[in-house]
Structure 1
Amino acid sequence: MKSKIRALFKRESAPPKTVETDELIEENLFSLFDKAEKVVSNKNIPVREITNFHWNESILTIEGYIYIDNIPLMREDAVRKKLLVVQKGKVIQSIPLKNIRVEKTDRQNWGLYEWAGFYQEINFSKINREKPLPHGNYHLYIELEVLGENNIKYHEIQTLGNINHFLRQDIYATKIEYFSPKKRMKFNFIVTYDEVEKTVHLLSHKLQEIDPSLIDIAIKQENRILRKFKRTIFHLFYRLFCLLPIKQNKISFASDSRDNLSGNFEFVYQELLNREESFKFQFFLKERINSKKSLLEYLRMAYHFATSRHILLDDFYPIIYPLKIRKNADLVQLWHAVGAFKTFGYSRIGLPGGPSPTSKNHKNYTKVIVSSEHIRKHYAEGFGVDIENVIATGIPRTDLFFDERRKNEVRTRLYENYPFLKGKKVILFAPTFRGNGQQSAYYPYEELNYNQLYHEFKDEYVFLFKIHPFVKNQINIPYQYSDFFYDFSDFREINELLLVADILVTDYSSVCFEFALLQKPIIFFSFDVEDYIRKRDFYYEYFSFIPGPLAKSCNDLISIIKENQFEHEKLESFVKYFFDELDGNSSKRVADAILLENHNKDKEFM
Structure 2
Amino acid sequence: MARELAIRLYLRTFSILFSIFSILPLKSKAVFVTSFGDNTQYLLDEMDKQELTWKRVILRTSTSKIKGKDDGHTIVFNFETKNIIHLLLSIYHLATAKRIIVDNYFGFLAAISFRPGVTCTQIWHAAGAIKKFGLTDPSIAERTPAAKQRFIDVYNMFDHVVVGSDVMAGIFKESFGLTDKHILYTGIPRTDFFFNQPALTEAQRILTSRYPEWADKKTILYAPTFRNQTLHSGKIALDIDLLYRELSQKGYVLLLKLHPAVTADVELESAYPGFVHNLSDYPDMNELLLAADCLVTDYSSIPFEYSFLGKPMYFYAYDLEEYQQERGFWEDYTTSMPGPVSRTTNELIEHIKRNGIDQNQLSAFNQKWNRYSTGQSSKNLVDFLFKNE
Structural RMSD (CA): 2.8
1:243 corresponds to which residue?
23
Q: Which of residues 83, 86, 107 in structure 2 aligns to 1:297? A: 86
Q: Residue 310 in 1 paired to residue 99 in 2?
A: yes
Query: For 1:379, what is the secondary structure of its paired residue?
Result: helix
What TM-score, normalized by structure 1, do the two folds share?
A: 0.56
What TM-score, normalized by structure 2, do the two folds share?
A: 0.86
Q: Is the 8 A contact 1:549 1:567 kept in 2?
A: no
2:59 corresponds to which residue?
284
Q: Is the 8 A contact 1:238 1:303 kept in 2?
A: yes
Q: Quote how far apart the aligned CAs of 1:347 are.
A: 0.8
Distance 1:543 1:228, change over 3 A: closer
Q: Residue 456 in 1 paired to residue 236 in 2?
A: no
Query: For 2:155, what is the secondary structure of its paired residue?
Result: coil
Residues 368-398 of structure 1: CA distance to partner in whole angstroms, max 9, x if unpaired? 1011122212112222333421222110000
Counterpart Cα distance in 2 of 1:410 and 1:244: 44
The amino acid across from 2:327 in the alignment is R
Counterpart Cα distance in 1 of 2:223 and 2:143: 23
Counterpart Cα distance in 2 of 1:403 and 1:346: 36
Q: If each structure's helix is expressed as a fraction of its own residues, which one has the higher value?
A: 2
Q: Residue 493 in 1 paired to residue 268 in 2?
A: no
Q: Residue 393 in 1 paired to residue 201 in 2?
A: no
Counterpart Cα distance in 1 of 2:99 and 2:129: 25
Q: Which of residues 148, 163, 173 in structure 2 aligns to 1:370? A: 163
Counterpart Cα distance in 2 of 1:353 and 1:517: 38
Equivalent residues in 2 for 1:101-250, closer than 5 Å: 232-247=12-27, 249-250=28-29
Q: Which of residues 200, 212, 226 in structure 2 aligns to 1:407? A: 200
Q: Residue 347 in 1 paired to residue 136 in 2?
A: yes
Q: Is the 8 A contact 1:399 1:585 kept in 2?
A: yes
Q: Quote how far apart the aligned CAs of 1:523 are.
A: 0.3
1:265 corresponds to which residue?
40
Distance 1:309 1:497, change over 3 A: same
Q: Which has the higher contact order (CA 8 A, sep 6+)?
A: 2
Distance 1:567 1:553, change over 3 A: farther
Counterpart Cα distance in 2 of 1:335 and 1:267: 13
Residues 164-210 of structure 1: CA distance to partner in whole angstroms, max 9, x if unpaired? xxxxxxxxxxxxxxxxxxxxxxxxxxxxxxxxxxxxxxxxxxxxxxx
The amino acid across from 1:309 in the alignment is K
Counterpart Cα distance in 2 of 1:567 and 1:429: 20
Counterpart Cα distance in 1 of 2:173 and 2:185: 12
Q: Which of residues 426, 430, 438 in structure 1 aligns to 2:223? A: 430
Distance 1:443 1:370, change over 3 A: farther
Q: Which of residues 344, 353, 356 in structure 2 aligns to 1:562? A: 353
The amino acid across from 1:598 in the alignment is N
The amino acid across from 2:38 in the alignment is G
1:10 corresponds to which residue?
none
The amino acid across from 2:242 in the alignment is Q
Distance 1:493 1:272, change over 3 A: same
Counterpart Cα distance in 1 of 2:140 and 2:361: 31
Residues 266-314 of structure 1: CA distance to partner in whole angstroms, max 9, x if unpaired? 1111111222532111122232399624221121112111111111112
Q: Is the 8 A contact 1:315 1:336 kept in 2?
A: yes
Q: Is the 8 A contact 1:442 1:473 kept in 2?
A: no
Q: Is the 8 A contact 1:339 1:375 kept in 2?
A: yes
Q: Is the 8 A contact 2:104 2:122 kept in 1?
A: yes
Distance 1:442 1:376, change over 3 A: farther
2:121 corresponds to which residue?
332
Q: Residue 574 in 1 paired to residue 354 in 2?
A: no
Q: Quote how far apart the aligned CAs of 1:244 are.
A: 2.3
Counterpart Cα distance in 2 of 1:424 and 1:353: 48
Q: Is the 8 A contact 1:340 1:539 kept in 2?
A: yes
Counterpart Cα distance in 2 of 1:502 and 1:307: 47
Q: Quote how far apart the aligned CAs of 1:428 are.
A: 0.3
Q: Residue 522 in 1 paired to residue 313 in 2?
A: yes
Distance 1:450 1:276, change over 3 A: closer
Counterpart Cα distance in 2 of 1:377 and 1:441: 32
Query: For 1:598, what is the secondary structure of its paired residue?
Result: coil
The amino acid across from 1:242 in the alignment is S
1:477 corresponds to which residue?
268
Aligned length: 367
1:418 corresponds to which residue?
211
2:75 corresponds to which residue?
none
1:55 corresponds to which residue?
none
Residues 37-71 of structure 1: CA distance to partner in whole angstroms, max 9, x if unpaired? xxxxxxxxxxxxxxxxxxxxxxxxxxxxxxxxxxx
2:256 corresponds to which residue?
465
Structure 1: stretches of 5+ with no match in the other structure? 1-219, 600-606
Query: For 2:32, what is the secondary structure of its paired residue?
Result: strand
Q: Is the 8 A contact 2:81 2:87 kept in 1?
A: no
Q: Is the 8 A contact 2:194 2:308 kept in 1?
A: yes
Q: Quote how far apart the aligned CAs of 1:408 are.
A: 1.3
Counterpart Cα distance in 2 of 1:596 and 1:479: 50
Query: For 1:448, what is the secondary structure of its paired residue?
Result: coil
Q: Residue 320 in 1 paired to residue 113 in 2?
A: no
Counterpart Cα distance in 1 of 2:84 and 2:308: 44
Q: If each structure's strand is expressed as a fraction of its own residues, which one has the higher value?
A: 1
Q: Quote how far apart the aligned CAs of 1:326 are.
A: 2.0
Q: Is the 8 A contact 1:433 1:442 kept in 2?
A: no
Q: Quote how far apart the aligned CAs of 1:575 are.
A: 1.0
2:33 corresponds to which residue?
254
Counterpart Cα distance in 1 of 2:359 and 2:341: 13
Query: For 2:219, what is the secondary structure of its paired residue?
Result: strand
Distance 1:302 1:314, change over 3 A: same
Q: Quote how far apart the aligned CAs of 1:238 are.
A: 0.9
Distance 1:478 1:273, change over 3 A: closer
Distance 1:387 1:500, change over 3 A: same
Counterpart Cα distance in 2 of 1:513 and 1:549: 16
Distance 1:420 1:253, change over 3 A: same
Identity %: 32
Counterpart Cα distance in 2 of 1:384 and 1:303: 29
